[in-house]
């Protein structure tokens, strides 16, 4: 425990009292007040993630109970989605770029060691979050991209595999068949709905009872993206950010909007100023709206996209916010479940 703080005024007044007592030939008592006892709030094992991370926060919590490091716990949770072919926004089974190639991005930060690692446009490796951790552990770099990132992964024994599942390929083919009315591709049959352009990611932020914090974000990125496009997920300070003295935050949704405000870093900074996680995330979203170009706003000035932020502080308090109503997953120290996000705007009415 640290020593109680003493102001300069306390010291001067006490010294003056002692001096006066010496002059008068009496013993004077120092005017120090009783020592303060500073007790920090007790931390707890907790985790917060995007809505697809319910299994991730549950797994992370189980590992934290076993004493596993926060970064390893978060990555083991995220890997569940990376290896799940039914999640078309992450890892194996993720939707491809416009040429039908799956390119993955991921980043991570470890609060206690103050280290970070990331990969972008990584092809052929199912678990980019683990590759990002290897960048953190074994290099003096933070971000590796493209072919270099793949060679790095292969050098550590990762297996190169085809990440395009039949399900993702079918969705891509249907999108390609209706790209434009002016190209050589056939139109969809009348009455059949066009394929939406999904965005999706998993972010997971973890803290243990000792107040050690880590964060991970992984994604296959924007569906049908231009080959080589990189979103916010592998960008330290955008897709996720950790400060072991404060907490962690991360994001899912439109990466380009997040990159411009360094959203994860900004959310942690708002928590540093004393904001609760949810309030910090909402404040960051206000900055996003303020920096959105007019072409991406509706007639009422609301964004034509969604963006979510998830945050956790050193005490294990967590929260999330989005531009429009959404959900997120969290482990509160007792159970893992879904919660509704705070949000800035009511849902937009779809045009008919």
Name the residues annotated as catalytic: 201
35 phi, psi to nearest 5 deg = -65, 140
Cα 81-101-193 angle, rounded to 5 deg? 80
Q: Distance between alpha carbon 40 and the CA centroid of its chain, in Å?
A: 26
Q: Which of 319, 120, 343 is nearest to 228 (CA)?
A: 120
Q: How far apart are CA 47 and CA 62, in angstroms?
A: 11
**Cβ neighbours of residue 289 under 8 Å, at least 6 residues apart?**
301, 302, 303, 323, 344
Find the length of the chain: 352
Q: How far apart are CA 250 and CA 217, in angstroms?
A: 7
Q: How many CB atoms lie within 10 A of CB 199?
A: 20
Q: How far apart are CA 91 and CA 74, in angstroms?
A: 16
Residue holding tokens 């969604």?
Answer: 306
**Cβ neighbours of residue 188 under 8 Å, at least 6 residues apart?**
174, 177, 178, 194
- Taking a C-beta distance cutoff of 8 angstroms, is the pair 75, 55 a contact? no
Residue-wise DSSP of 230-291:
--STTSBTTTEEEETTTEEEEEEE-HHHHHTTTHHHHHHHHHHTT--HHHHHHHHHHHHHHT
Q: How far apart are CA 91 and CA 56, in angstroms?
A: 14
């Amino acid at each position: 425990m640290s020593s109680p703080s003493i102001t300069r005024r306390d010291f001067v007044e006490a010294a003056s009292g002692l001096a006066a007592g010496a002059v008068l030939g009496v013993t004077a008592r120092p005017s120090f007040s009783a020592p303060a006892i500073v007790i920090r709030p007790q931390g707890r094992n907790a985790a917060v993630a995007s809505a697809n991370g319910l299994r991730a926060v549950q797994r992370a919590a189980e590992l934290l109970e076993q004493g596993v490091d926060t970064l390893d716990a978060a990555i083991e949770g995220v890997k569940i989605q990376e290896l799940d072919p039914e999640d078309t926004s992450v890892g194996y089974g993720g939707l491809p770029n416009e040429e039908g190639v799956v390119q993955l991005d991921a980043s991570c930060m470890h609060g206690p060691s103050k280290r970070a690692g990331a990969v972008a446009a990584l092809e052929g490796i199912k678990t980019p979050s683990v590759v990002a951790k290897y960048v953190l552990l074994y290099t003096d770099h933070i971000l590796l991209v493209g072919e270099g990132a793949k060679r790095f992964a292969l050098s550590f024994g990762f297996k190169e595999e085809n990440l395009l599942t039949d399900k993702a390929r079918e969705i891509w083919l249907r999108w390609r068949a209706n790209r434009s009315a002016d190209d050589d591709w056939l139109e969809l049959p009348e009455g059949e709905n066009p394929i939406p352009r999904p965005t999706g990611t998993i972010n997971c932020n973890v803290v243990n009872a000792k107040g050690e914090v880590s964060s991970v974000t992984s994604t296959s990125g924007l569906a049908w993206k231009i080959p080589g496009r990189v979103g916010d997920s592998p960008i330290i300070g955008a897709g996720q950010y950790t400060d072991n003295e404060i907490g962690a935050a991360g994001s899912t949704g439109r990466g380009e909007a997040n990159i411009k405000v360094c959203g994860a870093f900004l959310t942690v900074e708002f928590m540093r100023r004393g904001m609760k996680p949810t309030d910090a995330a909402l404040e960051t979203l206000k900055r996003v709206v303020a920096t959105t170009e007019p072409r991406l706003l509706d007639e009422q000035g609301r964004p034509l996209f969604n963006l979510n932020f998830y945050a956790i502080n050193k005490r294990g308090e967590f929260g999330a916010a989005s531009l429009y109503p959404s959900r997120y997953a969290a482990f509160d120290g007792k159970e893992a479940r879904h919660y509704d996000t705070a949000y800035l705007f009511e849902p937009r009415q779809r045009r008919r």
